[in-house]
Structure 1
Amino acid sequence: MLSRTNACLLIGAAAGALLAGTPALAQVAADATQTADAAQRAEPEQGLVDTSQPDGEDIIVVGTAGGGTRRQDAAFAVTALSNDAIERAAPNSTADILRAVPGVMAESSGGQNGANIFVRGYPSGGDAQFVTFQYAGTPIFVPPTLSFLENSQLIRLDETVQRIEAVRGGTGSLFSNGQPGLTVNVVPRIGGSELHGLAKLSYTDFDEVRGDAWISGPLGDDTGFMVGGYYAQGNGLRDPGFRAEKGGQITANIHHDFAGKGSVEVYARYLNDRGAWLLPIPIVTNGNGDISAYPGFDAGTGTLMGRDTRITTNVVGRTIDLADGRGANIINTGITFEYEVADGLRLRERTSYLGGDANTIGLVPVEGPVSAAAMAVTLGGAGSTVGALTYATGGGAVSGGASAAVLRAGIWEVRKKISSFVSDSAFEWTAGSNKLTGGVFYTNYTSRDSWVLGNQVLLAAEPNARRLNLTLNGGRTATLNGFTSGPAFQVQANYQGEDYAFYGVDELQITPELRIDGGVRWQRHLVDATLSTPLAGGNVNLDANPLTLYDNAVTVLGPVRSIRYRDDAWSWTGGVNYDFSRSIGVFARYSRGNSFPQFDNLREASADNIANGTGLAATAEVDTYEGGVKISTGIANLYATVFHNKFDGLATTSLINNVPVSSNGGAKATGVELEGALRPTKWFSITAAGTYLDATYRDFFTGNGAIDNTGNRVQRQPKWMWRVTPAIDVDVGRFRPSLFATLQYTGDRFSDPENLQVLPHFYQLDAGVSVEVAQRVRLQVTGNNLTDEIGLTEGNPRIIGGQGTGAILARPILGRSFRFSAAVEF
């Protein structure tokens, strides 16, 4: 555990760096008048890292109509991360890199997939409801979140990524799919005038092996190509005893410039990767909120999954393999086109298609460890006692009998076949000091769902848990091959969504220093579906034997029904930017954004809600007021933003005891976001980011309207978050070592809207060293969570209320680990 004194010293260092006026994540040099395609994604001609310019010079695409703007000139809050910054952050997953973005709380403790991402106090129960990922400026999959699917599951970070841009609030509600929360644009490398490439091999101390490679170069005077990707496999840090992580991604593009008139780029990306879905494990808490590891269970590496639970056949005869995990097998293709058809008039088109599977298979715990005697009462009712407790595999008696610690977990199966088509067409007309942009956005997306949840098994409360069989007094059998129940919640559904929008933005440069802009967007949202969910009161006893408790209440699907939903809404924004100089500026902005209900909300909404646009079928509205200061110089830059938002109309459902339970209402939040860096010498830099957030619920009800949470803090989002990263780059003879470290603080949070499940604050320390041992040959080692901190990111989301003290369920961050890599560039 990091001492309080050292933590305070590091906080002081971070604050000092920010107040001094913070440095640049060095990026590609580009003039602000260049188009984003040419300037933003040009490859450095020499070396492994380009450190030529402050990031205020970067051309930002996200949050604009497509032409891009210099980051220093952007009248909205945006973060840019170079490939080098991504590598030094050593993210465990795609979502993990968002820890570097102020105002964002990213939880990647669920593994490569299954992230929870929260933005600026927007109320949400999990997943990433207000986060959209783009690739090359186009949404990957238009719904930001469906149950068991959020955008970061559909893309991996690898060496083909040139940079990441992330805009919060601001103009995001006008462009692309109209995301009012966070829009993240993953910008790929493209080919230049010279042949370049990289090969990299990585190995971890938990036996994961990964290979990355890319190559780019010219196909002609104005045409370049890039192709690359990765492949990895291993058991994972939380080792279940089988190959839980496996897969890769390949990306290719061809880019052509039209002699200064514009450009066209065609790309294709194939992802076939899956990993273990990591869920809460047993943890011990006392009355003061202190936490510790459950006896025999390592909080950083332990998992309930094991060889005995990997392949099982449930009570209805369906066989499931937990090695299928959570992931995606998809292809994503697209084209981006920009051309100046006449003086001052440019046309832009972005089109993409995505299709494939995104499945989730996991072992989902139900409650914290209890004695077998208590479990007998839970399964058999009052007066039930343990007759026999044996292992389902092998049949031996469990030591301790009725006093043995046990728990239940469901084997959940969610299969999704998805598709998405996106077309974003726009024109930009510039006349003197005025620039007018107008566009049309269209998307059609589908999801074919097959869910089978429940299927609970009785397990020993141990790592790599074994299945148990339990018999009760009175000749009753509580389990079958460890299963205590059959399917409890099922869905068979075919969904189709369609959105079209018209948007317009006018930007006026009143004086060389003063610029104002304003814009509107009208969007129409349509959903049609046919589906079947559990029949109310339709549970059956499969064998008609009341003494076999495991199959006495199996759900039955009801009749097929249909959904037809239609709604539309206006979004708008207005902003002003004033530059005191090329390096110092301020901005202010107001925006109204909307978030339409997606498939899962409409599945659980009543016919009246759908007809009237209320309850779970309501369209959420977000009003955001924000202002900021931007300082960007050769040795330092600082971006400071103050914001206030009001959120109305959240509608979501959670599965409590395998039954959908609704949450409805609003929230308000006020916050401050700081980020920047300081480079006082050529060999030393320090980057930092921090967020203060005061977010509370307003007229917010959970438990199907039974619990009023007004005034409670918005769940899973701390009041304080910060991170600071010092780095040293020196020349030692013919070697060029770089040393870097990141200390991150995450404040106290509540796992639930009722504010009864406390998640204590924690620190996480990561560090690494990289050495260029020969020209273009680099060795690197990075360490994550070096202090092996037990930092909780989730309690038990499948219950309402507190978990008490003693043994509970919670999901900690991953424990200490190391990654070693060797890279050769040419």
Structure 2
Amino acid sequence: MKLTPLHTCVSFIALSSAFLVSPALAQDAAQAESAEAAPESVGLDAIVVTASGRDKTQLNSSVSVSSISAETIQSLKPSSEAEVFRTIPGIQVAGTSGPGGNSNIAVRGLPVATGGSPFVQIQEDGLPTVLFGDIQFGNNDYWTRFDSSVANIEGVRGGSATTFASQAPGAVINYISHTGKQEGGFVSVGKGLGYDETRVDFRYGGSINDTTYFHVGGYFKNGRGPLHADYTVSDSIQVKGNLTKEFDGGKGFFRLNFKYADTQEPNYTGAPALATISGKNVGNIRPYPGFDGRDSSNYSIYNQDFLIYNRDGNLERVKMDGITTNAKAFGGQLHYEFDGGITVDNNARYTKMSGGFASPFLNTAPTSSVLGSTVNGKTVAAIRYASGLKAGELFTDAYLDNNVNVRTNIRDIGSFANDLTLAGKYEFGAGKVTARAGVFYMNQKIAMDWHVNKSLRELSGENPSQLDLFDSAGNKLTQAGTSGYNNNWGNCCARDYDLSYANTAPYISLDLDHDMFGVDGSVRFERVKASGYAIAGGSEFNIVSNGVTIPTITSNGVREQLNYTRSYTSYTFGGLFKVSPNVSIFARTSRGGRFNGDRQTLGGKIRDDGALCTSGDIGSNGCTADGITPSVDFVKQHELGIKSRGDLLGGRFTMELTLLKGSFKQSTFELSATKCPGGAGGCVIDAKYKSSGAEFFGTYRNGGFSLVGNATYSKAKKQGAGAANFVRADGIPDLIYTVSANYDIGEMATVGMAVTGQTSAIDSNGFQYPGKAIFNPSLRIYPIKNLELGLQVYNLFDTFDLRGNGGIADAAANPVVIGGAPALGRTFSGSVRYNF
């Protein structure tokens, strides 16, 4: 994608407009903006529209739900989509994977066994962007980008997420778009200060006539990013819009939606660090000399493209361009209220989508572990720089990066989705009964080919060189630092597949709403039809690459032809007591299932005829394991909550507190050696987990002061050596929190401070890493009417916050060498915004 000239033009026009267009009232524009974008402005009176019946306020809903306005999210200056999710209570994510995505998104202490977000669904305007949250190399945070088209984000945890959405027993996160019913918009230009990054955000909506209105918004982004890559790693555009026509006196509306996205963003894979270890406690963590993960990465001009052995049997040079997406979506929404209390809603969307994943994974290893080892049948006697100013010189550093160069071609991840609901409301004594019936259908395509090269590079945060290996006779054993094509984790991961999953889910609910209480229950009947093929890697063979013999694997091994259907049921029951007009108490119990999609393939769980293996098939029909039981993972949850609002110290507050208890099992394929026994890639992990805790969400407003905060406390455990032995789960801190405060200084300026942090977490080997807080201040000034100048700081105190899972690289060294994923360091950005 070549957008640099376009970005330059847009930046110039936007900046010029900001200073030259005749100004209007800045505060009026800000109020118009917030009227549509800030549901917390009406607090618990906001109608819940996500994974619900769409006719109850937050206060009177017996589910845990929070609505976060676009303005609140923007004040946090999130560095990635994962940091957006941290604003939602119950969602637990490190937020260090970068703007491209690939985060592990846990919910309510229910950990992620391998990767992605298996129990969390991300939606745009009520429909999932992808059906499964943990598609291998296709996590759901690749395909959604927060931008100015979004009015607010609603997060429903547990409860009705189980039955009003498929594959989402943990939570639904819904990006809700502006519609233009409230006229207005803005153009904003943001620039990195001290690093190369430009972002232009825009939106505008308004009426065409009395019954028709529209909205369009999006962003452009280009640059090398805050980790100072020496080539362009961000090059993105996204535009979303809708057109709404109301009819029959406001009884109904029809809305057309569209989205175009062509994005390229880096995926951060961590950095080395130094630390002190006492027992199992890791402390005094600080940057590794020459590689400070707060402001540098292993993206390198000497590795900005590399060779893969492609699915056509040829060597192909591909870009190291992070996570790329290309999406074209078109859909429509219909709502109509018939006489007699009958309402029909239909939401449909077709999405053509593809992309790619290219990243230099990082792992710190002693150089001594390579010297003297056997590589490609020869003993390694020397290591030399393969590129850069030192090309050809001996490499003598104590540590190197021995992880993979990976490229995954996501040929097709498109879908068609439709959700149809019919509801009827009837008087029942002193209350009202609402009955709903609906059917959801989604056909999800997943077509990919994987290329994981064995690779060696210098351990440096400034354009690391690839490293070549030589034997004692001076024979070269690698080519441009690559010692194998598609074989880094063995034949598990040179795979090629073209899969299709058709999910049909009828659902019904019954709701009784009384002046003093409410009770409800709903059931969802899932049926998923799997088809297509998956091919594993075959036997290793040699090819010649620029005169060097390199071992290679390609997808010509075991072939599975999928042809099976799996059905299961999810349910939830809840009750709410209306203590007063400002206080309600609720309780809920739920059991939700999620289908194990592409991670079920090539694990010996599918018969030769395409059916799922039974326990009786093991040892025949191509079966090595039961496929039926692990094809669906179930989550059980119990909740007890209170919601309240009222006056406090001259201002108004809202508060939601939910006590939690849950458990789940998960069977999933792990592609890397990170968690596989013995360090071998390609294993199936079967695990059981349980968790208890609480989540909190609160707001407070007093004059020009506003505060929004959330916290999630959980005791997450996984099954240990015995059936009754549960130990602390890795990667989940006991407490994770986000707080955002703003103060309006009259009509002149707004001062803000956002804090995001967590307590300690352990890695997969039980080592505990301290948790820290990051402070992000901001300042917005209104020098003239309708013009806003902004200054934002991320990580004010430049805290070295190792949020991601760590790992001990060399415990014998002093100080100890570790690896992990730190949050971004102190980063400044400026912005100019014109409201209209």
**Shared fold (TM-score, shorter chain, > 0.5):** yes
Query: 1:286: how far off?
Result: 2.3
Task: Identify the match of residue 670 of structure 1 among 684, 688, 692.
Answer: 692
Post-superposition shift, 1:807? 2.3
Structure 1 match to 2:642: 629
Match of residue 409, structure 2, among 393, 415, 430: 415
Gaps of 5+ in 1: 1-42, 702-707
Which of the numbers 187, 190, 198 marks the counterpart of 1:202? 190
Aligned equivalent of 1:118: 106
List per-residue Cα deviations over 1:309-357 (Å, max 9, x = no partner). 1122358863444442202110122111110123210111011111121
Pair 1:534 & 2:537 matched: yes
Distance in 1 of aligned mates of 2:766 and 2:263? 37
The residue number in structure 2 matching 1:12 is: none
- For residues 425 and 52 of structure 2, what CA distance do their matches in structure 1 show? 15
CA shift in 2, pair 1:150/1:552, >3 Å: closer
Q: Secondary structure, in 3 states, of the residue corresponding to 2:572? A: strand
Partner of 1:690: 711
Alpha-carbon distance in 1 for matches of 2:627, 2:350: 32
Closer/same/farther in 2, CA of residues 238 and 85 from structure 1, 3 Å limit:
same
CA contact (8 A) 2:30 2:835 kept: no
**In structure 1, what residue type is equivalent to 2:352?**
G
Q: Contact 2:307–2:318 (CA<8 Å) still a contact in 1?
A: no
Task: Please state how far the C-alpha of 1:260 moved relative to its aligned partner.
Answer: 2.8
Q: Distance between the aligned counterparts of 2:696 and 2:659, measured in 1?
A: 9
User: 1:506 corresponds to which residue?
Assistant: 510
Deviation, 1:650, is 3.7
Which residue identity is paired with 1:695? A
Indicate whether 1:71 and 2:58 are aligned: yes
**Contact between 1:698 and 1:709, CA under 8 Å: does it hold in 2?**
yes
Letter in 2 for 1:744: T
Say if 2:729 is the partner of 1:711. Answer: no
Residues of 1 paired with 2:337 and 2:30: CA distance?
28
Distance 1:558 1:796 in 2: 34
> CA 1:192–1:269 in 2, change beyond 3 Å: closer, same or farther?
same
1:618 to 631, 641, 648: 631
Deviates more, 1:614-623 or 1:500-509: 614-623
In the alignment, which residue of structure 2 is the partner of 1:424? 419
| Distance in 1 separating the partners of 2:561 and 2:517 | 53
- Compute the TM-score of the two structures, normalised by the length of structure 1: 0.87
- How far residue 605 of structure 1 moved from its aligned partner, in angstroms, is 4.1
Map 1:390-539 → 2, pairs under 5 A: 390-392=385-387, 396-398=391-393, 401-402=395-396, 405-416=399-410, 417-432=412-427, 433-488=432-487, 489-509=493-513, 511-535=514-538, 538-539=539-540
Residues 494 and 553 of structure 2 are in contact (CA less than 8 Å); yes or no, is this contact kept in structure 1?
no
Q: 1:792: which partner in 2?
A: 802
The 1:185/1:803 distance shift into structure 2, 3 A limit, reads farther
Q: Percent identity?
A: 20
Counterpart residue number, 2:787: 777
SS at match of 1:473: coil
Q: Alpha-carbon deviations, 1:49-84, whole Å to 9, x = none?
A: 34794311111101203x342111111111111121
Aligned to 2:34: 49
Is 1:641 aligned to 2:658, yes or no?
Answer: yes
2:832 corresponds in structure 1 to 822
Equivalent AA in structure 1 for residue 637 of structure 2? T
Q: Which moved more, 1:561-570 or 1:635-644?
A: 561-570
1:40 is matched with none
Q: Is the 8 A contact 1:723 1:742 kept in 2?
A: yes
CA distance in 2: counterparts of 1:158 and 1:130, whole angstroms? 24
Cα displacement (A) at 1:238: 1.4
8 A Cα contact 1:455 1:486, kept in partner: yes
Partner of 2:270: 280
What is the DSSP-based 3-state SS (H/G/I as helix, E as strand, rest coil) of the residue aligned with 1:75?
coil
Q: Which residue of 2 aligns with 1:6?
A: none
- Per the alignment, residue 258 of structure 2 pairs with 268
**CA–CA distance in structure 2, aligned partners of residues 313 and 286 of structure 1:** 39
Q: Which moved more, 1:772-781 or 1:402-411?
A: 402-411
Matched, 1:368 2:364: yes
- The structural deviation recorded for 1:382 is 12
Q: Distance in 1 between the 2:95 and 2:324 partners?
A: 14
SS in 2 for 1:789: coil
Q: Is the 8 Å Cα contact of residues 176 and 424 (structure 1) preserved in structure 2?
A: no
How far does the alpha carbon of each residue in 1:96-116 deviate from its partner, in whole angstroms, 9 at most, with x for none?
A: 111111221123311112222
The structural deviation recorded for 1:803 is: 10
TM-score relative to the length of structure 2: 0.86
Name the SS for the 2:413 alignment partner: strand
CA distance in 2, matches of 1:519, 1:277: 39
Q: Which amino acid aligns with 1:784?
A: Y
Choose the corresponding residue for 2:330, options 330, 333, 339: 333
* Post-superposition offset of 1:93: 2.2
* Deviation of 1:533 (Å): 0.8
Q: Tell me: CA distance 1:162–1:803, structure 2 relative to 1, closer, same or farther (3 Å).
A: farther
User: How many residues in Structure 1 have an aligned counterpart in Structure 2?
Assistant: 761
- In structure 2, the gaps of 5 or more residues are 1-27, 488-492, 615-625, 674-678
Q: Which amino acid aligns with 1:746?
A: Q
Q: Is the 8 A contact 1:172 1:178 kept in 2?
A: no
Post-superposition Cα deviations, 1:432-483, rounded to whole Å, max 9, x if no partner, equal 1111011111111111111111241343545320122221225543322222
Contact 1:282 1:369 (C-alpha < 8 Å) held by counterparts: no
* CA gap 1:800/1:464 in 2 versus in 1, 3 angstroms: closer
Q: Secondary structure at the match of 1:607?
A: coil
Give the partner amino acid of 1:376: L
Q: Which amino acid aligns with 1:720?
A: L
* SS of match in other structure, 1:774: coil
User: How big is each residue's C-alpha offset from its partner over 1:576-635, in whole Å with a ceiling of 9 and x where there is no partner?
Assistant: 111122211110001110011111223324336932364884311111110101002360
1:302 aligns with 2:296: yes
Preserved contact between residue 460 and residue 468 of structure 1 (Cα < 8 Å): no
Coordinate RMSD, CA, aligned = 2.8
Q: Say which of 127, 140, 152 aligns to 1:138.
A: 127
Q: 1:654 to 1:314 in 2, by over 3 A?
A: closer
**336 and 393 in structure 1: CA distance in 2 versus 1, 3 angstrom threshold:** same
Match of 2:15 in 1: none
Give the counterpart of 1:242 among 231, 234, 244. Answer: 231
Q: Which runs of 4+ in 1 moved over 6 A?
A: 799-805
